[in-house]
Chains A and B, each alone.
Chain A
C-alpha cells in the first residue's frame, strides 16, 4: 500500500526536495520590496506608515533567514516596535484631514523616477558583477546562537575560527557599545528637553482651596434652633 501511495505523491509532485531557504527568502523579499514600493506610491501618510511597518517586518524575516537571529529580533523590537511607533505618533499628531495626503507635482515625480531607476541599475550591476558573491552559501552550517555576538559585545571574540586567520586577534566591540549607550542617553535627554511640558496645567482646584480660610464657625443646634421665618414675632 505504501508503494502506491509513494508513487501517487511523486507523480503528483515531481520535484523531490524544495529549497525552503530559497522559498522563504523569495516570500520575505517580495513582501519587503512590494511594501517599500507601496510606501513610495501611496499618498495617504497613514497608509505609508503601515506599508513601512510591513516592509521592515519582512526585512526582520530576511535577517532571521540570513542566520543573524539577534539582529532580526532587535530589528523587530527597536525598529518596528519603537521607531515606527514613534513615527506613527508623529503621523497621528500632524495628520489633520487636509495634511493627510499631499501630492507632489507630476514633473518632480517623473524626475525622481528616472533618478531611482538609474541608481537601481548601477547598484544591481555592481551586486551581480562580483562572481564570488553569486555562488550559493556553504552547504551545512551549525544553527546560529547569540552567544558569540554577546561575548563579542563584551570584548571577547569567541568566534575566532569564523574569521579564518588566527594571526590577527579580532577586537571586541566593547568601546563602540559604550559609546552608543552614552550617545543614546544624550539623545534621550535631548528629546525629553524638546518635549518638556510646555504649558502648566491650570492650577488644580486643590491649590485654590488651600488659599481659602476654614468655614465660618457654625452654631450647633442648641443656639440656632430650628429654622423659622425671621419675620415671625419670636425671631432671635
Chain B
C-alpha cells in the first residue's frame, strides 16, 4: 500500500519548527510568570523535536539524500521523555518558590537565599 507524498518537503517542516522555536524563545523572554517561561521551554523543545522527526521521516527522505532514518525518531522519543522529567523538576522548584514567596513572578526572584 503506497503513500504518495505530495509537494510537502523537509523545508516545510523546518519552517514550522522554526516558528515554534522562535515562539518559544519569545515566550521565555516576555513572560513574567514562571509557568509562562516553562511553557516557552516546552515550545522550544517541540520545535527541535519537529526538526528531528522531519529529518528522520522515511516519507520526506528524497532519493540519495542522507536521511537520519530511525535515529531522528528515537531522538525525538528521548527528548519527549526527558522533557517530562525536566518539567517535573522545574515545576517542583517553581511551586517551592511560590510557597516561600507567595508569588511566581520571575522578576521578584532576585535574592539567592531561600
Contacts and interface: CB of A to CB of B under 8 A. Distances in A.
With a 10 A CB-CB cut-off, give which of A62, A78, A137 has the most chain B CB atoms: A137
A71 B27 contact: no
A20 interface: yes
A115 B25 CA distance: 9
Contact of A87 (B11, B39, B50): B39
A87 B4 contact: no
Q: Tell me what chain A mostly uses at the interface: helix, strand, loop, or mixed.
A: helix
B3 A140 contact: yes
B: interface residue count bin: 35 or more
Contacts of B78: 176, 180
B44 to A, nearest CB: 10
B91 A36 contact: no
Contact of B69 (A37, A109, A117, A163): A163
A5 B15 CA distance: 42
B22 A143 contact: no
Contact of A137 (B59, B82, B95): B59
Contacts of A180: 78, 81-82
B11 A59 contact: no
A83 B87 contact: yes
Contacts of A25: 8, 12
Nearest to B3: A141
B98 A162 contact: no
Interface residues of A, number: 92
Is chain B's interface secondary structure helix, strand, loop, or mixed overall?
A: helix
B7 A149 contact: no
A164 B58 CA distance: 12
Interface string B26-67: 110111110110110011001001100110111111110111
Nearest to A135: B62
Interface stretch (A7-15, A188-196, A212-220, A228-236): A188-196
Nearest to A186: B85
A186 B73 CA distance: 24
A190 B89 CA distance: 8
Given A79-B80, A102-B32, 11 more contacts: A21-B4, A22-B7, A36-B23, A40-B26, A83-B84, A94-B94, A109-B30, A115-B29, A133-B10, A140-B2, A149-B77
Going nearest first, the 10 A-B pairs with the smallest beta carbon separation are: A19-B6, A140-B2, A127-B14, A123-B18, A36-B23, A112-B29, A137-B5, A187-B85, A66-B57, A137-B60
Interface of B: 1-27, 29-33, 35-36, 38-39, 42-43, 46, 49-50, 53-54, 56-63, 65-67, 69-70, 72-74, 76-78, 80-85, 87-89, 91-92, 94-96, 98, 103-105
